[in-house]
Amino acid sequence: MNYWLIVNEAAGDGSRGEHYWREHLEAAGIEELQVRLLGDTEWERDVAPGDRVLAAGGDGSVNRVASVCVERGAVLGVLPSGTANDFARNLQLPEDPEALCRLVHAGRTRQVDAAWINGNLFLNVAHIGLGTLPARDASQQRKRRLGRFSYLLTLAQRIGLQSGIHGRIECDDRTVEGHWLTIAIASGAYFGGGHDIAEARIDDGLLDVVAIRHRSWLRVLIAFATTRVLRHAPRHDDTMVHLQGAQCHVRLRTAHTLTADGENLGRMANITAYTRRGVLEVLSERLDSSQPATSTAMQDTPSEAPPVARQSPGAP
């Protein structure tokens, strides 16, 4: 078994690179490391089943390394180094780097879900509509200066440009149709730098689809505030729709931009997503289902886009 340290030197503010993580990993007892840059490709062919592949980067880097781990039967370790680091939140990893590296050395693993949308793996969230704007427009300089709040600023600056999208959403045995402001398809609970979806988990074998109807901004804000308090979409108001299922289909009247874990996948009118339960092995303690969530919002932009989109295994 080998330990691989895959580093994205451009992640976050650049302070958590190879030297930073090597020092903490060696202090935890991991001294034999195969270190590679994320942008290289040779390491992907050399990873063997059971190897520990540690991704030092943001959510986009983790996405890329997770794809390799699924393909090669390796174990993913997450060393959060980006702006949002939402997959680390989904795994409930310790924020302290020393504690995290001790966990990596201990070698305890869990099985979690991975999802695919139009053939591309994603771990956190895919977006259609308004939620795609920050992923496309937030500059690297702004992200380094303002962190995850850069996404909110970018969204606020562009919010007047959205006129809504017409579409039909099918999720297992439920179907809704309407004029939407944004549609989010999430694999786990956390996205957008710590926002969450109530009752969602990374290991439940379900996608969570949250769609916001094109209504007045006052009505949308009330729906958000109510959801945050109640921990579910308000039942007396259909402004926010929450569906769950192992797979979903979105049919749009016209093509719109689709993003997944921050990567722009292009403009599409027909979108299919599904999840595979427990297909990804990760270094993690037992996931605590009783851990309280901290906030709710339906705008997401992971901190970086993975350089290479991976194709899915056969759809269910």
Residues 99-146 have pLDDT tens digits of 999 999 999 999 999 999 999 999 999 999 875 554 444 444 444 443
pLDDT digits (tens, 9 = 90+) for 10-23: 888 888 999 999 99
CA distances from residue 92 to 43, 287, 292 in whole angstroms, order as listed: 28, 7, 11
Q: Which residues contact 228 (CB under 8 A, 6 or more apart)?
A: 295, 296
Q: Tell me: pLDDT of 34 over 50.
A: yes
Q: Locate 207 and state its tokens.
A: 């996608």
Of residues 10 and 274, more confidence is placed in: 274
pLDDT at 10: 87
Closest CA to 171 of 78, 235, 242: 242
At CA 300, angle to CA 112 and CA 193, rounded to 5?
Answer: 70
Of residues 83 and 26, more confidence is placed in: 26
Q: Tell me: pLDDT of 303 over 50.
A: no
Q: How far, in Å, CA of 37 to CA of 45, rounded? A: 14
Closest CA to 134 of 123, 146, 118: 146
Q: Are 115 and 274 in contact (CB under 8 A)?
A: yes
Q: Are 78 and 88 in contact (CB under 8 A)?
A: yes
126 membership: H or E segment, kind and range: strand 125-129
CA distances from residue 103 to 64, 109, 162, 201, 202 in whole angstroms, order as listed: 22, 10, 44, 21, 19
Q: Tell me: pLDDT of 177 over 50.
A: yes
3-state class (DSSP) for residue 197: coil
Q: How far, in Å, CA of 52 to CA of 26, rounded? A: 15
Q: Locate 143 and state its tokens.
A: 């992200």
Task: For the chain, list the domains and their CATH numbers.
Answer: 3-114 (3.40.50.10330), 117-283 (2.60.200.40)
Q: Tell me: pLDDT of 219 over 90.
A: no
Instruction: Tell me the one-letter amino acid at 36.
Output: R
Q: Locate 268 and state its tokens.
A: 């599409």
pLDDT at 193: 64
